[in-house]
Amino acid sequence: MNQIKIFSPATVANVSCGFDCLGFAVNDLGDTMTFTKTSTKEVKITDIKGANLPLEADKNVASAVALLMLEKHSADFGLEISIQKGYSPGSGLGSSAASAAGAAFAVNELLGKPFSQLELTKFAMYGEKVACGSEIADNVAAALYGGFILVQQYEPLAIVKIPVPEELMLVAIHPQVKVRTKDARDVLPENIPLADAVTQWANVGGLISGLYSQNFEVIANSLQDIVVEPARKHLIPHFDLVKEAAVNAGALNAGISGSGPTIFALCKGEENAKKVYHAIEDTYTDKGIDFTMVYSKINTEGVKILEQN
Contacts (Cβ under 8 Å, ≥6 apart) of 71: none
Burial of 246 (0-12, 13-18, 19+ CB in 10 A): buried
Q: Positive or negative, the Cα torsion across 37, 63, 84, 33?
A: positive
Q: Using an 8 Å Cβ cutoff, are 264 and 12 in contact?
A: yes
Burial 130-168 (b: 16+ CB within 10 A, else e): bbeeebbbbbbbbbbbbbbbbbeeeeebebebbebbeeb
Decide if residue 23 touches a second copy (CB under 8 A): no
Q: Using an 8 Å Cβ cutoff, are 293 and 279 in contact?
A: no
- Enumerate residues 263-302 that contact a second copy by CB under 8 A: none
Q: Which of 39, 74, 194, 286 binds a second copy (CB under 8 A)?
A: 194
Decide if residue 189 touches a second copy (CB under 8 A): yes
Cβ closest to a second copy, residue 97 vs residue 204: 204
Decide if residue 112 touches a second copy (CB under 8 A): no
Q: Which of 132, 187, 188, 241 binds a second copy (CB under 8 A)?
A: 188
- Enumerate residues 195-254 that contact a second copy by CB under 8 A: 197-210, 212-213, 215, 218, 221-222, 227
Q: Is 128 part of the annotated catalytic residue set? A: yes
Q: Is 32 part of the annotated catalytic residue set? A: no
Q: Using an 8 Å Cβ cutoff, are 43 and 83 in contact?
A: no
Give the active site residue among 36, 128, 229, 262: 128
Decide if residue 65 touches a second copy (CB under 8 A): no
Decide if residue 165 touches a second copy (CB under 8 A): no
Decide if residue 257 touches a second copy (CB under 8 A): no
Query: Which positions lie near a second copy, rule CB under 8 A?
Result: 17-22, 150-153, 158, 160, 162, 188-194, 197-210, 212-213, 215, 218, 221-222, 227
